[in-house]
Amino acid sequence: MQQTKQLLTIKEASRWASDFLRRDIGESNISYLVQYGKVKKHNGDNSVFVDLNDLKNYYESYRREREINWKKRLGDDLNWALSFDHLREKDTTKHVHRLHPYKGKFIPQLVQYFIDDHTDGFKKDGYFKAGDIILDPFSGSGTTLVQAHEMGIHSIGIDISRFNCMITETKLLDYDLSALESEVKKVRQAITNYEADSKITTFENELLARMADFNSRYFPSPEFKYKIQKGQIDEDKYVAEKEKEFLEIYNDLVKKYNIELNHFSAKNFLDRWYIKNVRKEIDFAFEQIKKIKDLKNKKILAVILSRTIRSCRATTHSDLATLKEPQVTTYYCWKHKKICKPLFSIKAWFERYAIDTVNRLKIFAKLKTNSHYAIIPTDSRNIDIFKEVEKRNKKFGEILKKQKIKGIFTSPPYVGQIDYHEQHAYAYDLFGFERKDELEIGPLYKGQGMEARASYVDGISKVLLNCKIFLVDDFDVFIVANDKYNLYPSIAERSGMKIVNQFKRPVLNRTERDKAPYSEIIFHLKSL
């Protein structure tokens, strides 16, 4: 028997879902489900409606089957509480945590869960409290340091990548926000007024108009996405035909306006991965930033530019995290389920990120504490932490020597998965920073063979042995790792530590097109 449709407005659906799941489900969450074809859109009286039965089926499937399926694939020992699946993206990327993309970082809630001394049902006395010192010897983009600073905990971050340290520093710096806004406005205006190629705007306007018409006809949203979800369309076959059809339109427009694309054979990252006009705009924008006298403002604007040019690389949206080949033609986008195009200008993205960055800094400014922090671009295997912190902040150095470091929360590189310098190759090329790829532990280019694993164990062990010198006797070390080769028991032993507990968590909301179930372990280590 067919169910009778019971249509709800987005607002009504939000209330129903909140009651059903016993947690806050905002109107934006419901709009997302409609936009991405998870539930069917119904129109009427200038409003959008959803069918209650459709919505209920989605959430029942989501709530029951997601956890069941993940545990079926990854094991019943999966700690679903650590999935944080109740959080929205804006929660996991709150304030400065999203100042710049960084592949392989963990969400701030994971840090807070393990270091907050008020997490009910997890620990009795707490591992860290305000005034303690926490260390991250693989600090990446600074998630541990930012979260610690928000909680009043002193922090030290060490990373071999100078650019990673720059990202972290710009998150934590104190700004004269009024002066920064003025500087941002000047740079934005200069970029807006700059025109490297007078044909680009006309070309892109016509391209966008043709794309909009084509997508409206052949990839109507959200109907097309809904049909994909329900298996009513053979996506591979259908999109291959339409992608080829629109490519002819694109090539005609490129020829009509005589648009220069890029040097495919170029070894320089910026020349290879950016369309000619974008490349010229990047150079112009960087020249404007170089003129800024205030060092803090100069650094944050450089990070805004870096974030911008990462988004403007000539690649598909699905491959933004892991580049494959330069994409200088239109293509079917597996993320957006329609025909998309490469970028021909940085202007819109720079403006968007500049505004977003200032807003995020304002939010974090209200949460900041007077806790100290130190960011050190060096090798954690042989650093004298006392000496380096004192060089940067004498008062913090005194506190450090007096009470030492309470513990560590870190996520080292996973063996053979990411080349951490290469993921920001565009920034190293632009800023002229020295790369130290050879000092990375467990980089992708070394693979995952026996030799690579042995080198990884040796590297991580040396880091922990060196850092242990600066820890209190009764320290707590938390390490987030995907230990599929079971290397951490050996690492703990070689470091003079023991694993006292471990927590296996599912990693949700990955950006890659391959979103197969994936887990990581948080190891809790203490002294032998």
Q: Tens digit of pLDDT for each residue in 397-415?
A: 999 999 999 999 999 999 9
pLDDT-derived band of residue 262, with 50, 70 and 90 as boundaries?
A: confident
Quote the pLDDT of residue 122: 47
pLDDT-derived band of residue 2, with 50, 70 and 90 as boundaries?
A: low
Q: Tens digit of pLDDT for each residue in 191-215?
A: 999 988 889 999 999 999 999 999 9
Quote the pLDDT of residue 105: 87
Quote the pLDDT of residue 345: 94
Report the pLDDT averaged over residues 57-72. 77
Quote the pLDDT of residue 124: 44
Between 91-95, 291-295, 455-459, the lowest mean confidence (pLDDT) is in 91-95
Quote the pLDDT of residue 265: 67
CB 437 within 8 A of CB 422: yes
In angstroms, the CA 469 to CA 466 distance is 6
Quote the pLDDT of residue 369: 97
Q: What are the contacts of 290-299 at 24+ separation with CB within 8 A?
A: 292/183, 292/187, 294/176, 294/179, 294/183, 296/173, 296/174, 296/175, 296/180, 297/175, 297/179, 297/180, 297/183, 299/166, 299/169, 299/170, 299/173
The residue assigned the tokens 């959008």 is 48
Superfamily of domain covering 80-174+368-527: Vaccinia Virus protein VP39 (3.40.50.150)
Percent of the chain past pLDDT 70, that is, above it, reads 95
| pTM (two decimals) | 0.85
pLDDT-derived band of residue 278, with 50, 70 and 90 as boundaries?
A: very high
pLDDT-derived band of residue 362, with 50, 70 and 90 as boundaries?
A: very high
Q: Which bin fits 46, alpha (ψ -120 to 50), beta or left (φ > 0)? A: left
Quote the pLDDT of residue 226: 86
Say whether pLDDT at 159 is over 90.
yes
Report the pLDDT averaged over residues 260-271. 78
Report the pLDDT averaged over residues 115-121. 58
Among candidate residues 33, 23, 24, 203, the one with its CA nearest the CA of residue 8: 33
Say whether pLDDT at 322 is over 50.
yes
Say whether pLDDT at 184 is over 90.
yes
pLDDT-derived band of residue 43, with 50, 70 and 90 as boundaries?
A: confident
Domain spans in the chain, listed from the N-terminal domain onward: 7-74, 80-174+368-527, 177-359
pLDDT-derived band of residue 117, with 50, 70 and 90 as boundaries?
A: low
Quote the pLDDT of residue 46: 78
Q: Tens digit of pLDDT for each residue in 127-138?
A: 899 999 999 999
Percent of the chain past pLDDT 90, that is, above it, reads 70
Say whether pLDDT at 123 is over 60.
no
Report the pLDDT averaged over residues 142-158. 97
Q: Tens digit of pLDDT for each residue in 376-393?
A: 999 999 999 999 999 999
Say whether pLDDT at 45 is over 80.
no
Phi, psi of 523 (to 5 degrees): -90, 135
Quote the pLDDT of residue 1: 46
pLDDT-derived band of residue 64, with 50, 70 and 90 as boundaries?
A: low
Question: Higher-confidence residue: 357 or 58?
Answer: 357
Q: Tens digit of pLDDT for each residue in 66-88?
A: 777 788 888 888 888 888 877 77
Say whether pLDDT at 510 is over 60.
no
Which residues 6+ apart lie within 8 Å of 295 measured at CB? none
pLDDT-derived band of residue 61, with 50, 70 and 90 as boundaries?
A: confident
Quote the pLDDT of residue 125: 53
HEC secondary structure over 445-495: HHCCCHHHHHHHHHHHHHHHHHHHCCEEEEEEEEEEECCCCCCHHHHHHHC
Report the pLDDT averaged over residues 461-466. 98
Quote the pLDDT of residue 516: 67
CB-count exposure of residue 294 (10 Å: 0-12, 13-18, 19+): middle
Quote the pLDDT of residue 509: 59
Question: Higher-confidence residue: 231 or 373?
Answer: 373
Quote the pLDDT of residue 120: 45
HEC secondary structure over 294-308: CHHHHHHHHHHHHHH
In angstroms, the CA 53 to CA 28 distance is 19
Quote the pLDDT of residue 63: 63
Quote the pLDDT of residue 78: 87
